[in-house]
Amino acid sequence: MKKYFSVLLSVCMLLCTLASISCSTVNAATYNIDFETTSKSIYLENLDTETVVYRKDSSARRFPASTTKIMTYVITSEHVPDPKNTYLNVKGEVLDMLLGTGSSMAGLEENEKVSIYQLLCCMMIPSGNDAALILADYVGNGDIDKFVDLMNSKAQSLGCEDTHFSNPHGLNDPNHYTTVEDMAKITKYALTLPFFTEITNTVTSDILGDDRYLVTTNYMIDEYRGGDYYYPYAVGIKTGSTGNDSGYCLVSMAVRDGYTYLCIAYGAPYEDEKGEQYENGAMIDSANLYKWAFENLAIKTILDKNDLVKEIGLNYAWNKDSIQLAPAEGYSTIMPDDVSLDSIDKTYSIPESIDAPVRQGDKIGTVTLSYANQKLATIDLLAGESVDRSELLTVMDGLKTIATSTWFIAVVIGIIVLALIYMIVAAVYNRRKKTRRPVKKYRKF
């Protein structure tokens, strides 16, 4: 009986040990405008915060016309490191490729020696298709198709998903298209290249000589010829039109009071059924959008990097049961002046509590910011301080877990039951022993 009880007790202790082991074992809101626009596709972005503040059919494929030359500039700039000191002779056969196309020309002449920088000016200021072809021929080593392949490859590398170029100047072709969103990506990259802003914001230039002035096609930056199109805060960039096929197109930028906006407007009506030209709706739309943005929008700080934005529970820390979370980075965006920060929705993805130890800067969760059901950004949330682990609390919690576990309770009940069975069996055994008749011993004779 004692041997049986000893084995049973050993099994119970093993179950408790197993139970103990088991218990010990993580850019954009857009806003409404209060006026009509005639351009088919529009994209307006605040470059200071990379916030798109207005879109209109921005993913539709459009003919880009001469705004194509922004990508031609990009490829040329990347392949000619010193454009002011790199010269070539204009090929007559390249100029002849434009005969009969009705192209805008910079007036380049066969066999004249010009620098790449001069050609970039001829292409971007008066929108010379002749300059675009000459640059493509030079960079492509006599193969313009090779240059166009470079344009398409660059578009892909910039994340343009709906863009395909067929030529370097923008004359109409069924396989020559882009979107205002894609052109924004191309233009923002071009803005980082040498001389781009300087050239595209030039109104007139005598770079080919005193009697061969280059004059901009962009009336928004031309105070003397621009008339009602002139907008004093406009900075560049490139016009385009191939008649009714593309409509009026414009890529422009405006800077005022420390704010910078980029606007791409494509497909404004060009002429009516009688052949009478409309006003340049791309310029009108762009100017109106700039005025609206400068007068109604402002940069607001939604999260400051130094703010403690949320508190969660903390386990196994001595005399501390919570910890504050801080954003990994500050977040600012452009918003209407009259919007209160209280209207920004914050959706947290965080645990109810975490276990010590915690190091300051550990990622704990995220917060998603949104306004008017439009997602603004998702920001990581980090531990705002370092907290060590209390081994005493850890052990006590482990014991508590064991004591309240189903395994432990079952084992304890089993021991109690076995103890009761043993006591009952022992009592019965002792009672039988007492009531057993003594055996008579007989003396041998």
Give me the pLDDT at residue 8, please: 35
Q: What is the mean pLDDT of residues 52-57?
A: 96
Mean pLDDT of 326-354: 92
| Class of residue 91 by CB neighbours under 10 A (exposed 0-12, middle 13-18, buried 19+) | middle
pLDDT at 421: 84
The confidence score (pLDDT) of residue 51 equals 92
CA atoms within 13 A on the CB side of 114: 25
Structure token digits, residue 210: 């005193």
Rounded Cα distance between 199 and 201, Å, is 5
Handedness of CA 436, 442, 443, 444 (dihedral sign): negative
Q: Which pLDDT does position 29 carry in this prediction?
A: 63
pLDDT at 255: 98
Provide the 3-class DSSP secondary structure of residue 34.
coil
- ∠ CA 168-184-37, rounded to 5°: 105
**CA–CA dist 60, 53 (Å, integer):** 18
Position 303 pLDDT exceeds 80: yes
Residue 256: which residues within 8 A CB-CB, separation 6 or more?
233, 290, 294
Residue 341 has pLDDT above 70, yes or no: yes
Q: Rounded mean pLDDT of 350-375?
A: 92
Q: Which residue has the higher pLDDT, 392 or 178?
A: 178
| pLDDT above 50: residue 432 | yes
Least trusted range by pLDDT, from 138-147, 188-197, 347-356:
347-356
- Please give the pLDDT value at position 4: 35
Helices (H) and strands (E) in the chain, counts: 11, 17
Q: What CA–CA distances, in Å, run from 299 to 45, 172, 341, 420? A: 13, 40, 12, 77
Q: Residue 250: which of 227, 273, 234 has the closest Cα?
A: 234
> Is the pLDDT reported for residue 283 higher than 80?
yes
Round to whole Å and give the CA distance between 163 and 186: 10
pLDDT tens by residue, 77-102: 999 999 999 999 999 999 999 999 99
Please determine, for residue 387, whether its predicted confidence score (pLDDT) is greater than 90: no
Q: Calculate mean pLDDT across residues 203-223.
A: 96
Beta bridge partners of 51: 46
Contacts of 400 (CB under 8 A, 6+ apart): none
| Virtual torsion, Cα 33, 37, 39, 44, nearest 10 deg | -20
Pairwise pLDDT comparison (407 vs 342), residue with the higher score: 342
What's the whole-number mean pLDDT along residues 344-373?
92
Task: Read off the pLDDT of each residue in 291-312 and give the average, rounded to a whole number.
Answer: 92
Q: pLDDT at residue 441 above 80? A: no
Mean pLDDT, the chain, as a whole number? Answer: 88
Confidence of residue 212 (pLDDT cuts 50, 70, 90): very high
pLDDT for residue 397: 53
CA distance linking residue 239 with residue 234, whole number of Å: 13
User: Are 33 and 56 a contacting pair, CB within 8 Å?
Assistant: no
How are strands ordered across the β-sheet holding 248-256? 51-56, 41-46, 259-268, 248-256, 234-241
pLDDT digits 0-9 by tens, 242-266 = 999 999 999 999 999 999 999 999 9
* Residue pLDDT, tens place only, 398-412: 555 555 667 667 777
Q: Please determine, for residue 26, whether its predicted confidence score (pLDDT) is greater than 90.
A: no
Q: Is the pLDDT of residue 327 over 50?
A: yes
DSSP E strands, 329-391? 331-336, 345-349, 353-355, 363-371, 374-383
Q: Which has the closest alpha carbon to 376: 348, 334, 337, 340?
A: 334
Local structure of residue 126 (DSSP, 8 states)? S
User: Any idea what DSSP says for residue 106?
Assistant: -
**Which DSSP category does 54 fall into?**
E
pLDDT class of 438 with cuts at 50, 70, 90: low
Helix ranges restricted to H, 107-193:
116-124, 129-139, 144-157, 180-190
d(CA 139, CA 81): 12
Global confidence as pTM: 0.79
Band the pLDDT of 24: cuts 50, 70, 90. Answer: very low
Which residue type occupies 340?
Answer: S
Compare 6 and 43 and report the one with higher pLDDT.
43
Q: How confident is the model at residue 159, as a pLDDT? A: 98
Q: Percent of the chain having pLDDT more than 70?
A: 86
**Which pair of structure tokens corresponds to residue 402?**
């064991």
Q: Does residue 337 carry a pLDDT above 70?
A: yes
Residue 19 predicted with pLDDT over 80: no
Write down the residue that tokens 């099994």 correspond to: 11
Instruction: Single out the residue of 212, 132, 142 nearest to residue 176, CA to CA.
Output: 132
